Structure 1
Amino acid sequence: MLTIDQLSLQLPLYASWWKRDWATCLDEFSLTVFPGEVHAVVGASGAGKSLLAYAIMGLLPTPARLNGQLYYQGKPLNASRQRQLRGRELALIPQSLSALDPLVRTQRQVTWAAQRAGQPSAHAWHASQQALDHYQLDARAQQAYAHELSGGMARRVLTAMAHVSQAKLVIADEPSVGLDPHQRQRVLDALRELANQGKSVILITHDLRHALPIADRVTIMRDGKLVETAPACAFQDSGASLTNAYSQALWLALPDNAFATTAISRREQEAHVA
């Protein structure tokens, strides 16, 4: 579905008024995402996860320097093709809930998403209602404004917008941030369901623990680089099947693994020595 080949990204960094440097945000990053899978991209803040999503969608700022290749369904995903497919076959569920229009009711916004994907007006309205019902948003929520929705409801509205677009590739950027456990699970289950329908889902998150139950594969990022890609089942017990010390340390540091920070320190030292 999607192939990322040696993708590098630099953004301008102004050390002073008259001097411009370039910060490397993605460094020869390669990844393949298959149909029907949830592929979790996990890393700390500043690892480059969201910039990776913007690069795939063609939403980087103008001064950005982007090298490498993107392929979607076997064909180059260049700027013109990104514009053509964005909102149709490529959908982004953004991290910020400010992506919802504060002056437009929920169902109208989902209807607009369906229309942007090429559905006729009458069918788009019906499709939006079906999608909102599917994600368990009742009649009151469907007629609410963005500020009247809970965080979980707003995330499900954004997921419904991706759903009606009939996108084949869905990128969810930190979809569970700030949600209580119940709402978080409903949002993650919705993403898993999209993958079960044959779509490719990229789940961008800093929280490995919440990604694992729905992910098929996990890519660990650090400082703009790919550390390791492994099946989700590799993250169990002591993480012995993981090949990278940082991935193992990240797994062992989770609360379920008793915050094994001593293991992090030891493995980091071993990695630096190597």
Structure 2
Amino acid sequence: MPILEVKNLSVAFTQYTTGFKQKSHQVISDLNVTLEAGKILAVVGASGSGKSLLAHAILGVLPTNAKVSGSMTYVGEELTHARKIALRGKEIALVPQSVNYLDPLMKVGKQVRTSVRTGDPKEAQKNVFERYHLKPEVEGMYPFELSGGMARRTLLSTAIVSGAKVIIADEPTPGLDPTVMKEALGNFRELADSGCAVMLITHDIDSALSIADEIAVFYAGTTVEIAPVTDFTGKGEALRHPYSKALWRALPQNDFIPIKGSQPHSSALPPGCLFEPRCPWATSDCRKGRPEMRELRDGTVRCIHAT
């Protein structure tokens, strides 16, 4: 049984326009992901594709003007808003993208210790700071006294000591030097190997490939493909979706071929397949409706032409 399962998640934001009229922007539509014990799912895609919003939806920290539909289950039971609050920071831990999540009025050592649920909090905080090369005096500092890299390591430490079953890491490595970054990624792998389910949200596909089991590719607020990491090789021949292939070939170490056009804004989504205006495989059938996710070659894909 998956630890965490998200099915057909849709998120829309209601905004007021001229004359106090309301307008709804669909930013996530029919998004699906599954997190399993012992595995790392890496989520990749362009900025604005819905990666961080997915994390916030799981944790129940979306703003009040958000309308959410679809279903989420945690260990087989519905993940209601009340249950999200109860599990947040305990069973489900976030390594956030922004260092502003640190409490500016609390010393960072105390912040890490408050996340420890078993054992000696002081000892756990000391050990995790040593692991991430944070000197003993750092525990007595406030967040404004930390460098960006130190703040990210503190956030990572907070999630590590929590003992959570699900770790959601939202861009956890920017600002870290290569040695600490490699160690941090290795620790996510260790957490998965010890039975946790890890979701790594990242722009760095190379980092994802070094530790993940599967890659979920997001585009314009939905999942277009979920594939084993072994499919990200060569010219992308094993990948299923044209966007996944184009994203892979756009990397500097591959063909460095740019993808024509740009990802559509949530206020101007095309009819049918969201990638159709940029897709080299597109036909008139692609504009008739949104394709469903389907299983294909040990992965899943949202494309009627994928073979």
- TM norm structure 1: 0.90
- Stretches of structure 1 that go unaligned for 5 or more consecutive residues are none
Gaps of 5+ in 2: 262-275, 287-307
- Where does 1:128-147 land on structure 2 (aligned, <5 Å)? 128-147=125-144
Question: Once the 2 structures are TM-superposed, how far is the Cα of residue 242 of structure 1 from its aligned partner?
Answer: 0.4
Question: Are residues 1:251 and 2:248 paired?
Answer: yes
Paired position in structure 2 for 1:7: 9
CA contact (8 A) 1:135 1:190 kept: no
Contact 2:213 2:229 in 1 (8 A): yes
Structure 1 partner of 2:219: 222
Aligned AA (1:76): E
| Residue 71 (structure 2) aligns with | 69
Letter in 2 for 1:25: V
Q: Which residue of 2 aligns with 1:29?
A: 31
1:36-47 matches, within 5 Å, as 36-47=38-49
Q: CA deviation at 1:215?
A: 1.1
Where does residue 159 of structure 2 map in the other structure?
162
Taking the aligned partners of 2:147 and 2:255, their CA distance within structure 1 comes to 32
Q: Deviations over 1:43-62 (max 9, x none)?
A: 11111111100110111112
Question: Does the CA contact (< 8 Å) of 1:40 and 1:218 recur in 2?
Answer: yes
Q: Is the Cα–Cα contact under 8 Å of residues 12 and 25 in structure 2 kept in the other structure?
A: yes
State the 1:260 CA deviation: 2.1
2: CA distance between counterparts of 1:184 and 1:240? 30
Quote the residue 1:103 is aligned against. 105
Distance 2:279 2:104 in 1: 49
1:149 aligns with 2:169: no
Structure 1 distance, partners of 2:255, 2:229, is 20
Cα separation, 2, equivalents of 1:165 and 1:36: 17
* 8 A Cα contact 1:152 1:184, kept in partner: no
2:155 is equivalent to residue 185 of structure 1: no
**Deviation sequence 1:28-76 (CA, Å, 0-9, x none):** 1111111111111111111111110011011111221111110111111
1:212 paired residue among 200, 209, 212: 209
Distance apart, 1:155 and its partner CA: 1.6
Where 1:251 maps in the other structure, the secondary structure is: helix
Residue 54 (structure 1) aligns with: 56
SS in 2 for 1:36: coil
For 2:171 and 2:147, the matched residues in 1 are separated by: 16
Q: Would the alpha carbon gap of residues 60 and 11 (structure 1) be closer, same or farther in structure 2, given more than 3 Å must change? A: same
Amino acid at match of 1:35: A
TM-score, normalised with respect to structure 2:
0.81
CA contact under 8 A between 2:156 and 2:172: conserved in structure 1?
A: no
TM-superposition CA deviations, 1:77-131 (whole Å, max 9, x none): 11111111111101111111111223332211111222xx4x58xx222222222
Alpha-carbon deviation of 1:17?
4.2
Give the structure 2 partner of residue 82 of structure 1.
Answer: 84
Q: Is the contact made by 1:152 and 1:187 (CA closer than 8 Å) also made in structure 2?
A: no
> What is the letter of the counterpart of residue 3 of structure 1?
E
Q: Which residue of 2 aligns with 1:271?
A: 281
* Two-structure CA RMSD over aligned residues (Å): 2.0
Task: Name 2:292's counterpart in structure 1.
Answer: none
Q: Percent identity?
A: 42
What CA distance in whole angstroms lies between the structure 2 residues aligned with 1:96 and 1:163?
17
What is the rounded CA distance, in whole Å, between the counterparts of 1:65 and 1:207 in structure 2? Answer: 30
Amino acid in the other structure paired with 2:65:
P
Quick check: 42-51 or 193-202, which moved more?
193-202
**Higher share of residues assigned helix:** 1
Greater mean deviation of Cα atoms: 148-157 or 2-11:
148-157
Name which structure has the greater RCO, CA cutoff 8 Å, separation 6+.
1
CA distance in 1, matches of 2:220, 2:82: 29
Greater Cα shift, 178-187 or 98-107: 178-187
